[in-house]
Amino acid sequence: MTLEQAYKECSRIQKKHGKSYFFATLFFQKKQRKAVNALYAFFRLPDEMVDTETPEKADVLLEQWEADWMACMNGAETTHPVLMATRDVFFKYDIPMQYASDFLAAMRQDLTKTRYEDYPSLQGYMYGSAVVVGLMMVYIIGWIKDTTFDQVQQPAAALGEAMQLTNFIRDIGEDFRLRGRIYMPLDELRTFHLTEKDIEQASMSQNMVEFLQWQIARADELYEEANKGIALLNKEGRLPVRLASDLYRFILRKIEQNQYDVFTKRAKTSLTEKIKTIPLSMLYV
């Protein structure tokens, strides 16, 4: 398999599994778009292992994936298209290896940890599962003159956290029903007089609605923080990042339109809605 074929396979994976991300990625220049395709595929495959296999089998698969990845980065030959393309991206953009290690550690954590007592604990997980993704994107896009990585990393981290929190809010019912996981902090559930039983029973009580409104407000604040940093990125990367931010944030609006029913209704955006978002996103870049 050639490197170009490997990149094409990564694009296919992103197109299949990440509709909103893929749509926004189309607005990158070709070189950056290919890099983003590769990173998405690299993250998606371990995520699929964790979400679709038994914990025991997923643990074995993750261990093998990380071993193959480390060997690949240390010069071993590989025929796996995702590893081949991702290695090229890491070397081309000088992305720290630690980010990949942190991500895979978060995936392993998913196999044994299904509850989070408070938000700081959840943030620890989100750092590996989402924040490092935002930080890697910064390396691919680059930042403007007279700006440092330290200045752009906080907004990038906020965007990763916002998107992950959006996923958690949208998927409360599915995560519990299919995987027995509750990502929402338990102490915050208690603050709104909710228990695990409310999630198990798909309760749409007023307490649940207010809890979801509060979580959505938190996510909105993170998107606002993230969007303030887009101007620090190199110009060619601003629109796709803003578009990805707006498209994912729109999921929150869909949840509101669904009367906060995250148990029986799936909040998602149509292609028409995605297209309509483009000119709005362009106003801010």
The residue among 58, 91, 112 that closes a domain is 112
Name the residue among 231, 216, 196, 224 with its Cα closest to residue 267.
Answer: 216
108 and 154 in a single domain? The answer is: no
For residue 19, what pLDDT is reported?
Answer: 81
Residue 74 CB-density burial (10 A; 0-12 exposed, 13-18 middle, 19+ buried): exposed
Cβ atoms 58, 111 nearer than 8 A = yes
Give tens-digit pLDDT for 171-206: 999 999 999 999 999 999 999 999 999 999 999 999
Give tens-digit pLDDT for 124-158: 999 999 999 999 999 999 999 989 999 999 999 99
1 and 131 in a single domain? The answer is: no
Name the residue among 176, 275, 256, 174 with its Cα closest to residue 213.
Answer: 256
Name the residue among 251, 264, 240 with its Cα closest to residue 36.
Answer: 240
42 and 128 in a single domain? The answer is: no
For residue 280, what pLDDT is reported?
Answer: 85
What is the arithmetic mean of pLDDT over 150-169?
A: 96
User: In this model, does residue 18 exceed pLDDT 90?
Assistant: no
178 and 131 in a single domain? The answer is: yes
86 and 183 in a single domain? The answer is: no
User: In this model, does residue 13 exceed pLDDT 90?
Assistant: yes
The C-alpha atoms of residue 140 and residue 241 are separated, in whole angstroms, by 12
The C-alpha atoms of residue 224 and residue 221 are separated, in whole angstroms, by 5
User: In this model, does residue 1 exceed pLDDT 90?
Assistant: no
137 and 262 in a single domain? The answer is: yes
Share of residues in the chain with pLDDT > 90 (%): 88
What is the domain-level CATH number for residue 173?
Answer: 1.10.600.10
Token representation of residue 38: 């590769």
98 and 136 in a single domain? The answer is: no
R_g (Cα) of the chain, nearest Å: 19
Residue 175, domain extent: 118-285
The C-alpha atoms of residue 215 and residue 49 are separated, in whole angstroms, by 28
The residue among 90, 112, 134 that closes a domain is 112
Please, what is the average pLDDT of the chain?
95
The band of 98, judged by pLDDT with boundaries at 50, 70 and 90, is very high
Give tens-digit pLDDT for 31-64: 999 999 999 999 999 999 998 898 999 999 999 9
- DSSP codes, the chain: --HHHHHHHHHHHHHHH-HHHHHHHTTS-HHHHHHHHHHHHHHHHHHHHHHHS-HHHHHHHHHHHHHHHHHHHTT-----HHHHHHHHHHHHHT--HHHHHHHHHHHHHHHH----SSHHHHHHHHIIIIIHHHHHHHHHH-B-TT--HHHHHHHHHHHHHHHHHHHHHHTHHHHHHHH----S-HHHHHHTT--HHHHHTT---HHHHHHHHHHHHHHHHHHHHHHTTGGGB-GGGHHHHHHHHHHHHHHHHHHHHTTT-TTT------HHHHHHHHHHHHTT-
The residue among 81, 96, 112 that closes a domain is 112
Q: Which residue has the higher pLDDT, 283 or 281?
A: 281
Token representation of residue 53: 């296999």
Cβ atoms 202, 265 nearer than 8 A = no
Cβ atoms 73, 79 nearer than 8 A = no
137 and 266 in a single domain? The answer is: yes
202 and 102 in a single domain? The answer is: no
Instruction: With both helix axes pointing from N to C terminus, report the angle between 132-141 and 81-93 in degrees, rounded to the nearest 10.
Output: 60
User: In this model, does residue 284 exceed pLDDT 90?
Assistant: no
103 and 142 in a single domain? The answer is: no
**Count of domains in the chain?**
2
CB atoms inside a 10 Å sphere around CB 223: 21
| Phi and psi, residue 73, nearest 5° | -70, -20
141 and 94 in a single domain? The answer is: no
For residue 267, what pLDDT is reported?
Answer: 92
User: In this model, does residue 81 exceed pLDDT 90?
Assistant: yes
The C-alpha atoms of residue 166 and residue 154 are separated, in whole angstroms, by 18
For residue 255, what pLDDT is reported?
Answer: 97
153 and 94 in a single domain? The answer is: no
At 36, the amino acid letter reads: V
